[in-house]
Structure 1
């Protein structure tokens, strides 16, 4: 029996932040197949003070990553946080995926081993600093004991402990065995930010070299001996089932091995992707489409608009909203956002090998333990018999918070005795997504003396959190759906927010990059521009008059006005639009400059964004994430919409679900504010900033107050209000 099989679940779970010495996890970043996990033996010379740090006798420092890397720079930033407090030699730092284990690697915010909501650094900031500081203290204790001096007379730097008075030094590798025997100290002091060496520096990404030279492995790159490839066709109508399957032609295709019929999908297994794909095309499938076969986009919007007229559950209420709305200059508007697909560059995939007593999975997922538990159910095995090998993700954006692709792959792999890689084509990926919900946000406000005196806001749309994490759905409120609505940054004395849960007919909905603030920042910031015009005020000055209690937001707004050239003259049909947002505990102000021609086509000229995200662990990553997020969000504003006809998604690939082209991308300037505050989230914030700032630029240039996305160019050409 190998070490992996002899390791008990109980022993795995007994490790922890404060001194679990049981395992040296060996889960190579560049291995398609995991090597056996070896129990930690002191004779190996490894120092493993907690679940996150491994130092061997050569001084090699391996940091175990609780969060996944999907292009957002998490591996580098988390490594920097650990290495900072550990005082590691950055040139010797390596990273490895963590295995599925909620107890050891569960995100402190959610209690699940999950990557999302732009909170990797926010959630792990203190726990990982304490883990690094504890390990450093143990290494210092070991050196001090060897020298017969007080630990306080020693210091650590770049993977070495030094005794300042005598000039003696020992490397971490030389201390590994002795440090392993030290008792972890309690309440170790973490560094004052002024003493940071790595944090705050523009560090080169640890994952970049292998992505450039082609060595990086994503889930879709997994290759196993004897592996076959499967292509899958899911019922084109949501909720439909398989009726009859004629596979006579498919089985004659060269390289086709087997046709697998599931409840709602059919897969063809072949020697390679071409055989599987051609075999799938040769199938004759009759679908039982069910009751959703006549549903259209119009039906969904009619249903949502009707639901939005109901009273909602009260998420927040300050002051006397009824009295405030009874006086002043009244404003009413509704803002609507469509379904969106994730369309990650790496299509949905999973490789699975099911044996009578085990199941092993190779994939890229944002939620490893849920993949493990759901795969166990599908395989009919105990959870501890399911091994999940996580890889780099070629984009996630929330889609890989769902385990459905792995569950389907397990069901297919159960039918054969060899490993199977199941790959969704781009068409299957886009047409069987878990979509960003449609939302309708209604705002009623009143103006008195040029300021908002009353603000009533109602969100209507899916409660994704109620499905995904039911305990978080309380008293009819989905806290994600109202995020950035209940905590709008402005000084509204009379402030009321409601939520109406309205699930779209038949369409599965989930988290999409930007999550709740996605729709709420858009609605709030578009309304603020319309209110500014109603009050006869400049949009930035209007906002500033109601940000007196929010100095961080006020500061970034002042700076973006200066950096963007706000107020300087512009040519006809060119406008600047602004957006401010307190999303994910970061404070961001963004200005988009855009030109709209006579037929409604839009040219993005320039985007300026000022970001106060607290302590920026890696400023280069902050800039890159804001830039990428802006492009992602602006793409959605310009082109993004999933539509339904006869229960089917009409879009299928990038020809009709467009991405922004390189030549369409504007000049983007991101200014990162130096701050001593705790880090905020950054991976999704830029997504939310782009759409309202662009819409407000269009409003400034044309006077057309668009209230739906994607942008309707016909309305712009006609010069009519939406």
Structure 2
């Protein structure tokens, strides 16, 4: 483990193998001092009512606005980019610096990155909060980071022109140098840092056209790989602060219960146990080591009060089914569906069911905190720096300038690490003990105390006209609300927009559309899960579209194309996926192809899945998945393809295997032994085809998840003639359906 000094306001460093890293003890003040003393250059970007504005570090220090500083250039030629988003495998520590480096015309070998600390200056310019989620990193930072790079480039050119006493348009920047176009003169960026004093950043730096990109659009090797391969990368579990205690927590086996009694004395007799502390939702044992802390937890013999011991999957389904007959709240209304239904040539009604799902991140929940009379510091693998900092200020009682949050690498996020529950535990324990405390959850803690992907029940009624086109679509969604807890201000007229995404903004052209939302509150806590509401609604919509195509006597792909309203970008991904997959070509008996299309997070994704169904075992083998993706301007194609490949496996695991089991008032799914994830040998061959369509950058971390489940379910229908409207497609479910067919 790498030791971290408590009481250091520092950036997390990363460098290339064989290069010296920026001092891990470099503070934010030191970071800016290099630029303010003439030993470097820094460029900042902030959002104003008139758009983004660029400032120098001197402006940042003198002004009241205090903008975020995105890049610095040091005399040793090092270009350092601040990354204000969390790196959880999605590649932002490479793609975001690429945006800066391309506009700057930097030598890529000189690029380093540091993770920005939690601070208002690093809030997302669109969201107004420092957080990572919603596939927004590129979408929200594409312009400001490019502006920062372009501004620094123009400042360096201006400095060189002034030094040579020539016009700026006679100079050009390229690969870390500024040279005169005609004379054999050049200065490196590092040399120019001492000459740039007094040069103001341009108000409107000129951005490159896509044709001028040198790095953007190229498969640049990731900057975080060397550290991760060597083991030098610091994840939350790797944090070690001198003198720290390790805490394990006894959590209730009942959802919503709190401690009633526990044997504190027995735990304190365990060698190495130092403290036993009651928390709101558990009992913590702080010890010198994790084994000692776990032994202490086991000896507590805690009892619990509260909760509902009758809660289980069956009772929850009954509550959802009852709610499906309630009127709900209007989320979207176009035309008159009643008239469309009454005059329909054909009609179809179906009910769909999807279960609660866990996040199952590779790295279980953890957090390290230290609180003294004058300082509070947190080390966390978090997606929500603003939330962590606010919680730390509240619990420590210290002002914002005395609270410091260090973001480590994340061993998977998927929305789970937006929550701050484990951070709260660490802060409380640090405050009570006066020591640095690292809280570590076991895998069982993680599974049984998650904020789960909501269960969902949906009923859809659709009508076809005489030409076989959809004339009406009535859609009712029964789903718990995430936003009511996390972002209550977004609940317009009581509708959780995440619960109805992909339906209220239906991809297809339907003249009469009626969407109703029924909010159902259960004791089961829910939170953001990769692709959020689109993870259920794409399954419902795309399965329904497949059924309607069959009802209309139409090919499923052609049926979708006929309802895309002439949208050329959507049309292109649908055609590309179907063509690359060999749609329409015959397959052997027992095999089938299924299609699905979904737009989410400003990205179009179409998928074709090829499956084989074993009628004896009920096992579905997905052999091949072909994806077509239009996410606008691609920054790094390798990262985009990796994200789609990961999303396909993530979504396929949920489609085939995953379901949170609840019984006797609690979650009984506790580990991979009873929460089955996709194995490596079950992963299909995945082909990703990038389609050039929309200009605006779209998201990529989440859009690959929604289409895979319906593509597989539709393929199973093609192979067996049996339609599935419930997930997961587990062998016993498949066998039961096959026997009925």
Same fold (TM over 0.5): yes
Distance of 1:219 and 1:424 partners within structure 2: 12
From 713, 718, 721, give the equivalent of 1:700: 718
Distance of 1:685 and 1:720 partners within structure 2: 35
1:526–1:315 Cα change, 3 Å? same
Distance of 2:367 and 2:437 partners within structure 1: 8
Equivalent residue number for residue 19 of structure 1: none
How far residue 715 of structure 1 moved from its aligned partner, in angstroms, is 4.0
Equivalent residue number for residue 556 of structure 2: 539
Q: Which moved more, 1:388-397 or 1:256-265?
A: 256-265
- Describe how 1:3-152 pairs up with structure 2 within 5 A: 26-29=11-14, 34-39=25-30, 40-41=32-33, 42-43=36-37, 45-50=39-44, 51-102=69-120, 104-152=121-169
What is the Cα-based RMSD across aligned positions, in Å?
Answer: 1.9
Provide, for residues 261-314 of structure 1, a one-character-per-residue CA deviation record: whole Å limited to 9, x for no partner. 2232111112111111122112221211x1423222222222222223222322
From 326, 332, 356, give the equivalent of 1:316: 332
Provide, for residues 139-173 of structure 1, a one-character-per-residue CA deviation record: whole Å limited to 9, x for no partner. 11111111111212211111211111213111111
How far residue 26 of structure 1 moved from its aligned partner, in angstroms, is 4.3
Equivalent residue number for residue 316 of structure 2: 300
From 253, 256, 267, give the equivalent of 2:284: 267
Q: Which moved more, 1:638-647 or 1:52-61?
A: 638-647
Distance of 2:185 and 2:671 partners within structure 1: 63
Distance of 2:288 and 2:38 partners within structure 1: 42
Distance of 1:332 and 1:610 partners within structure 2: 30
- Describe how 1:146-545 pairs up with structure 2 within 5 A: 146-288=163-305, 290-328=306-344, 329-448=346-465, 449-503=467-521, 505-545=522-562
- Describe how 1:569-580 pairs up with structure 2 within 5 A: 569-580=586-597
Distance of 1:235 and 1:376 partners within structure 2: 27
1:189–1:37 Cα change, 3 Å? closer
Conservation of the 8 A alpha-carbon contact between 2:159 and 2:192: yes
From 576, 588, 598, give the equivalent of 1:559: 576
Q: Secondary structure at the match of 1:38?
A: helix
Provide, for residues 321-352 of structure 1, a one-character-per-residue CA deviation record: whole Å limited to 9, x for no partner. 22111122111112111111111001000011
Distance of 2:715 and 2:632 partners within structure 1: 28
From 663, 678, 694, give the equivalent of 2:681: 663
Distance of 2:740 and 2:215 partners within structure 1: 51
Distance of 1:278 and 1:188 partners within structure 2: 61
Provide, for residues 410-435 of structure 1, a one-character-per-residue CA deviation record: whole Å limited to 9, x for no partner. 11122213211110000001100011
Equivalent residue number for residue 11 of structure 1: none
Equivalent residue number for residue 3 of structure 2: none
How far residue 79 of structure 1 moved from its aligned partner, in angstroms, is 0.8
Equivalent residue number for residue 704 of structure 2: 686
Q: Which moved more, 1:605-614 or 1:175-184?
A: 175-184
Equivalent residue number for residue 49 of structure 2: none
1:31–1:642 Cα change, 3 Å? farther
Distance of 2:83 and 2:12 partners within structure 1: 10
Equivalent residue number for residue 603 of structure 1: 621
Equivalent residue number for residue 57 of structure 2: none
Q: Secondary structure at the match of 2:370?
A: strand
Conservation of the 8 A alpha-carbon contact between 2:311 and 2:662: yes
1:27–1:663 Cα change, 3 Å? closer
Q: Which runs of 5+ in 2 are unaligned?
A: 1-5, 15-20, 45-68
TM-score for both structures, normalised by structure 1: 0.94
Q: Secondary structure at the match of 1:292?
A: coil
Provide, for residues 181-226 of structure 1, a one-character-per-residue CA deviation record: whole Å limited to 9, x for no partner. 3112111221101000000001111101111111111011001111
Would you say 1:646 and 2:664 are equivalent positions?
yes
How far residue 252 of structure 1 moved from its aligned partner, in angstroms, is 2.2
Q: Which runs of 5+ in 1 are unaligned?
A: 8-24
How far residue 44 of structure 1 moved from its aligned partner, in angstroms, is 5.3
Distance of 1:166 and 1:97 partners within structure 2: 40
1:89–1:571 Cα change, 3 Å? same
Q: Secondary structure at the match of 2:285?
A: strand
Conservation of the 8 A alpha-carbon contact between 2:158 and 2:168: yes
Q: Which moved more, 1:309-318 or 1:584-593?
A: 309-318
Distance of 2:227 and 2:307 partners within structure 1: 48
Conservation of the 8 A alpha-carbon contact between 2:569 and 2:693: no
Distance of 2:732 and 2:552 partners within structure 1: 28
How far residue 33 of structure 1 moved from its aligned partner, in angstroms, is 6.9
How far residue 637 of structure 1 moved from its aligned partner, in angstroms, is 0.8
Conservation of the 8 A alpha-carbon contact between 2:543 and 2:713: yes
Distance of 1:189 and 1:321 partners within structure 2: 50
1:564–1:468 Cα change, 3 Å? same
Q: Secondary structure at the match of 1:688?
A: coil
Distance of 2:547 and 2:8 partners within structure 1: 66
Conservation of the 8 A alpha-carbon contact between 1:330 and 1:446: yes
Conservation of the 8 A alpha-carbon contact between 1:53 and 1:63: yes
Distance of 1:139 and 1:635 partners within structure 2: 50
Q: Secondary structure at the match of 2:262?
A: strand
Distance of 2:566 and 2:335 partners within structure 1: 17
Equivalent residue number for residue 65 of structure 2: none
Provide, for residues 335-388 of structure 1, a one-character-per-residue CA deviation record: whole Å limited to 9, x for no partner. 111111111001000011111222111111001011011122122333332211
Conservation of the 8 A alpha-carbon contact between 1:585 and 1:681: yes
Distance of 1:676 and 1:443 partners within structure 2: 31
Distance of 2:515 and 2:625 partners within structure 1: 31
Q: Which moved more, 1:692-701 or 1:311-320?
A: 311-320
Conservation of the 8 A alpha-carbon contact between 1:161 and 1:171: yes
How far residue 710 of structure 1 moved from its aligned partner, in angstroms, is 1.0
Distance of 1:646 and 1:668 partners within structure 2: 40
How far residue 674 of structure 1 moved from its aligned partner, in angstroms, is 3.1
Q: Which moved more, 1:579-588 or 1:233-242?
A: 233-242
Q: Secondary structure at the match of 1:614?
A: coil
Equivalent residue number for residue 710 of structure 1: 728
